[in-house]
Structure 1
Amino acid sequence: MVADYVFYNGEVITVDANNSIVDSVAIKENRILAVGEFESLQQFIGEETKQIDLDGRSLLPGFNDAHLHLVYYGVNQLAISCKSPEQTSVETLLNALKEKAKVTPPGRWIRAWGFNENTVTEQRYPTLEELNAVSIEHPILISRTCGHISILNQTALNLANIDEHTPDPQGGVIEKDSNGKLTGRLIEAASMQIAEIATYSEDELKEGIKIANEHFLKTGITSVGEAGTFGSESFRTLQLAIQQGLLQIRVYALLGSLTDSKDFSEKIIASGVVTGTGNEWFRLGPVKLFTDGSSTGPTIATREGYTSDPENHGILYYSEEEIYNVLGVAHKLGYQITVHAQGDKAIEMYLNVVERALKEHPRDNHRHRIEHAGISTPDIQDRIKELGMVPIPNPPFHYEFGESYIRNYGERVNYMYPARDFIDKGIIAAAGSDSPVTDYPPLLGIHTAVNRKSKNGVDIGAEQAVEVLEAIKMYTWNGAYASFEEEIKGSIEPGKLADIIILNGSILKEDKTRIKDLQIDATIVDGKIAFERNTNTIGGVVHEVH
């Protein structure tokens, strides 16, 4: 066997069972051929073998973001970003919307995303009147950074058939002022439903997927857990994008929707396809429901009132029985199941469902997941361990939203996304960014998991900090485990898929306060170069995977 590539003289972080660190790895076609010290790999070097001197740089398994919204992120790039440096106020956003209206045909949607009322100068949302002043010839939709709250103008409200007399949907709020007038703000399920009206064309979906592919590969992401699209149309387009070679990232698709997760999940169950169906590029994952809201909204369902508002316990989408009627059936039929659950009340409700389902229909190695598992107190952690579940915490949340967590949840921040406790209790937790809710680069997530500080340097539950190798494992092998794929990816071992990344330095020698500043020199997917920061890295050209 002659290798196509041999990478040597590096810091090869294998993420194997022993956390072995070696200096070389050989790959042949789309598989890892051999791992070890350079001398032991000489037998695999032939005339055609390309030998790459890592010069001490780190080589890791490709990052697996276990929970992000690839399609949602991609189409957002076609809209106004409220996270861009120039967007500092409601005023600057309104001006950007006016400029967009000038070049957008009447009747077409104008969108903005990533808005955060806590970071703009005015410390408030845009008003319905302000959005109407921008344009009444276009429907306007602004999504909050959490993705669970939206602000609309009157034209968009009319398209959604929403007026002062429209009742709140289950698990949602159509906000009105003290006089009973619409404010333009839709919360939780009410906001989710607007996506059924504000749809994207197939061309827009494809363009968004291509953008997401390019952006994610540059940060070393080679696999994702697609945590929910906009229903069947975008779900279909995502699959076609992989078949057509527009997407070079492996997808484990959570079977839920950002519009009506219950209806979408029930249709998937009725179709007869089950978790695990697919191949190494696209595989069906767990049936997913939403149970509560956003940690930054704040709208999560908590057992005790918010520190910032003791009378507020958040929003629940469904009752425990309603959740069981969908996910209990899915479990019985052999599916992996999961929910979006942020608050301890929502998590506890879901754990009750899983416990009941397992008692009625016992099953080993089910790997039922909990997306986010936000406030996971010690009693909740013990139940997660006992039930054999896989939580999917979001390390980068603390970096962007940490201060708001302290304000809204007080001491409970010490158990928010508790990576240290999960590891110490032997719970396999896979990390996800939940992008576009927050920034997606895994190196930022690893940095925050290790440091547990906000971008302003504030400690956010510092006792939950983990070591660098532990954080890397959360973003690699643990992600593969969460999708039943640890036998084919997630670590650098012979026979596994050749999905690897090269950093521009040593992550183990870098000061831990600067991990986020490291860069990806190259991303290799399926044995082919998918991204190269410059031609000096490997000296090749970027190849299409398919």
Structure 2
Amino acid sequence: MKGDEYVAQIALINGEVITVNRQDEVFEACLVEGNKIIAVGTSDEIVQQMAPSATVLDLEGKSVLPGLIDAHMHLYLFGNTLINLDCKEPFIHSIDELLQKLSEIVKETESGKVIRVFGFNELKVKEKRYPTIQELDSLTIEHPIIITRTCGHIGMVNSATLDLLSIDEETPDPLGGTIEKDDKGKLTGRLIENAFLNFSQRIPYSEEEMFEALEKAQEQLFMYGITSVHDAGGFDEDSFRIMQIASQQKHIKTRIYAMIGTLNDCEHFTKNMLTTGVVTNTGNEFFKIGPAKLFTDGSSTGPTIATREPYTSDKTNYGYLMYTEEELYSIFTKAHQGGYQITVHAQGDKAIEQYLSVVERLLSEYPRADHRHRVEHLGVCPPDLQEKAKMLKVIPILNPSFPYEFGESYIHNYGERTKYMYAANDLLAKDIIVAAGSDAPITTVNPFVGIYMAVTRNTKEGTVFGEQQKISLMDAIRMYTYNAAYSSFDEEIKGSIEVGKLADMAILDTSILNCSIEELPKIKAAATMLDGKIVYTQSEVKELSK
């Protein structure tokens, strides 16, 4: 059963309905009518309440979760990895392998068309380096090539791209970025932070590519039972517009909470949006305006995050801070006064400290109840900053999948500070509401990888990472459901399986409460229900005869 039409009633029975209500109750069954949940209870109770015409789905012991919410991802960018060359799927192991794949793409691509690569990580390839501009130029001087590092903050380009961007040896570094040169003053093709983020906006995608990317991304979301996303920004203003049109026209059905921000020239876009008066929470249940967002530091794996103490791996490096406190305060004052939720990308403790100081000033000067200001990532967050976040009632949006994929590099770069990275246990122990997101395409969109990491604190390579930050399975699930809904002011309509809430549910292909911990990353959705309709199925949920 799958389609766009409502079935009068759908009964899910003989399962493990994990409600994520206040008591974390687990029931056998639930009943949906239209787009709402109308009953939760035992299978017998649901059978007695359902109408004779109801469709009955036998869960056969499988778990049902509230529709999962990715509280921080880049929907459009994630889709782009699915329509371009992605170094992660399948994994590219060497520079030679990357160059070979690019050579094949060059042969099939018309002259002048941009060739894009995502997910490259110099630490994961055999050579432990970036491709050189000479290697890329040897493939083509007629096609611009743009290779985006896995963090999204650093790019490697060929000479055709530099020409397209009008970058030469005399081009000055932008604030918060570097156009890398070698010891002879020659361009290496590597663009770091704002040098990459700001310049790459000059090479846009077509609208056709944008719509295709969003549709491809949604297919992946439904495979994991994700029904809502908090979009943390695309490349530019155009991607924000296309995402909104795609939602309005039902090209995509995923519920979107769209942050006011972009990767390229985020400040300009955010300031422009603030002048429109379109405030946070404007919209409907499928597309809503989210917080005003800025970047305050860089990439945790670059590494370019702003830290109070130098990197363990480099005693001269403190990372990049994008704004002074006064600049950040000036931009956010209008947003806070205007009723916007605000948030920042802040990975390093110096960036987190700066943002929390700004929030403290704003709340002192312009008090606001239930502001729900957020902070995206909250990477290195020691106890003093945890306490300040609690006092200010700031909502951290963590990325448990980050240390799963990048943990070894974090240990190398930040040393003992890793015990406070993505510190879920410490934060929850302080009664701070914590949500979670993938930051896809930076890491996998699979929420069960994040849940696994939050529960075990074991990296993909088996390294123990900040073991004291382990949390319970139920707490991890709550980060991807109720808490994520709370962070977008939606806890009254979604985030738990309760009577009266929207019928968004993830029917898993196993029992998450009874499978082994090591099986968690392998979990997928057997079926995904969005707004009371089955939008995806593996055909593993049996429809009973009536």
Name the residue aligned to 2:177: 172
CA contact (8 A) 2:526 2:541 kept: no
Once the 2 structures are TM-superposed, how far is the Cα of residue 537 of structure 1 from its aligned partner?
4.0
- The answer to whether structure 1 residue 420 and structure 2 residue 420 are counterparts is no
Paired with 1:254 and 1:135, the residues of 2 have a C-alpha distance of 37
Once the 2 structures are TM-superposed, how far is the Cα of residue 43 of structure 1 from its aligned partner?
3.9
- The answer to whether structure 1 residue 58 and structure 2 residue 63 are counterparts is yes
CA contact (8 A) 1:3 1:26 kept: no
Q: Residue type matched to 1:4 in 2?
A: Q
Q: Residue type matched to 1:484 in 2?
A: F
CA deviation vs aligned residue, 1:93-130 (integer Å, no higher than 9, x gap) = 11111111111111110111100000001000011111
Summarize the Cα distance change of 1:206–1:250 in structure 2 as closer, same or farther, 3 Å threshold.
Answer: same
Paired with 1:511 and 1:375, the residues of 2 have a C-alpha distance of 30
- Which runs of 5 or more residues in structure 1 are unaligned? 541-546
CA deviation vs aligned residue, 1:355-413 (integer Å, no higher than 9, x gap) = 11111100010000000000011000000000011000000111110100100000111
Q: Which residue of 289, 292, 297 maps to 1:284? A: 289
Q: Which residue of 132, 138, 145 maps to 1:133? A: 138
- The answer to whether structure 1 residue 364 and structure 2 residue 369 are counterparts is yes
Name the residue aligned to 1:262: 267
- Paired residues for 1:206-355 under 5 Å: 206-355=211-360
Name the residue aligned to 1:12: 17
Once the 2 structures are TM-superposed, how far is the Cα of residue 55 of structure 1 from its aligned partner?
1.6
Name the residue aligned to 1:543: none
State the secondary structure of the residue aligned to 1:178: coil
Name the residue aligned to 1:87: 92
- The answer to whether structure 1 residue 453 and structure 2 residue 435 are counterparts is no
- The answer to whether structure 1 residue 472 and structure 2 residue 477 are counterparts is yes
| TM-score, structure 2 as length reference | 0.97
State the secondary structure of the residue aligned to 2:238: helix
Name the residue aligned to 1:544: none
State the secondary structure of the residue aligned to 2:526: strand
CA contact (8 A) 1:3 1:33 kept: no
CA contact (8 A) 1:82 1:112 kept: yes
CA deviation vs aligned residue, 1:478-519 (integer Å, no higher than 9, x gap) = 110000000000000001000001112111111112211222
CA contact (8 A) 1:224 1:250 kept: yes
- Which runs of 5 or more residues in structure 2 are unaligned? 1-6
Paired with 2:214 and 2:98, the residues of 1 have a C-alpha distance of 25
Summarize the Cα distance change of 1:417–1:323 in structure 2 as closer, same or farther, 3 Å threshold.
Answer: same
- Paired residues for 1:60-139 under 5 Å: 60-85=65-90, 87-139=92-144
CA contact (8 A) 2:57 2:541 kept: no
Paired with 1:179 and 1:140, the residues of 2 have a C-alpha distance of 23
- Runs of 4+ aligned structure 1 residues displaced above 2 Å come to 38-44, 535-540
Name the residue aligned to 1:199: 204
Q: Residue type matched to 2:519 in 1?
A: R
CA deviation vs aligned residue, 1:154-213 (integer Å, no higher than 9, x gap) = 110111111111111011111111111111000001110132122100000000001001
CA deviation vs aligned residue, 1:12-43 (integer Å, no higher than 9, x gap) = 10000111111110000100011112233244
Q: Residue type matched to 1:331 in 2?
A: H
Name the residue aligned to 2:31: 26
Q: Residue type matched to 2:370 in 1?
A: N
Paired with 1:275 and 1:86, the residues of 2 have a C-alpha distance of 39
Once the 2 structures are TM-superposed, how far is the Cα of residue 44 of structure 1 from its aligned partner?
2.3
Paired with 1:517 and 1:222, the residues of 2 have a C-alpha distance of 19
Paired with 1:246 and 1:55, the residues of 2 have a C-alpha distance of 33
Paired with 1:236 and 1:518, the residues of 2 have a C-alpha distance of 33
RMSD: 1.3
Paired with 2:464 and 2:540, the residues of 1 have a C-alpha distance of 40
| TM-score, structure 1 as length reference | 0.97
- The answer to whether structure 1 residue 381 and structure 2 residue 382 are counterparts is no
Q: Percent identity?
A: 51
State the secondary structure of the residue aligned to 1:138: coil
Q: Residue type matched to 2:277 in 1?
A: G
Name the residue aligned to 1:404: 409
CA contact (8 A) 2:74 2:234 kept: yes
Q: Which residue of 152, 155, 167 maps to 1:150? A: 155
Summarize the Cα distance change of 1:182–1:499 in structure 2 as closer, same or farther, 3 Å threshold.
Answer: same
- The answer to whether structure 1 residue 486 and structure 2 residue 484 are counterparts is no
* Larger RCO (alpha carbons 8 Å, 6+ apart): 2
CA deviation vs aligned residue, 1:66-85 (integer Å, no higher than 9, x gap) = 00000011122221111133
Name the residue aligned to 1:390: 395
State the secondary structure of the residue aligned to 1:436: coil
Q: Residue type matched to 2:178 in 1?
A: V
CA deviation vs aligned residue, 1:243-289 (integer Å, no higher than 9, x gap) = 22111210000100110110000000001110000000000000000
Summarize the Cα distance change of 1:8–1:86 in structure 2 as closer, same or farther, 3 Å threshold.
Answer: closer
CA contact (8 A) 1:8 1:23 kept: yes
CA contact (8 A) 1:521 1:537 kept: no
Paired with 2:377 and 2:516, the residues of 1 have a C-alpha distance of 28
State the secondary structure of the residue aligned to 1:356: helix
| More off after superposition, 36-45 vs 246-255 | 36-45
Q: Residue type matched to 1:278 in 2?
A: G
Paired with 1:466 and 1:406, the residues of 2 have a C-alpha distance of 20
Once the 2 structures are TM-superposed, how far is the Cα of residue 535 of structure 1 from its aligned partner?
5.9
CA contact (8 A) 1:176 1:183 kept: yes
CA contact (8 A) 1:3 1:44 kept: no
CA contact (8 A) 1:287 1:330 kept: yes
Q: Which residue of 527, 532, 535 maps to 2:537? A: 532
Paired with 2:500 and 2:51, the residues of 1 have a C-alpha distance of 20
Q: Residue type matched to 1:404 in 2?
A: S
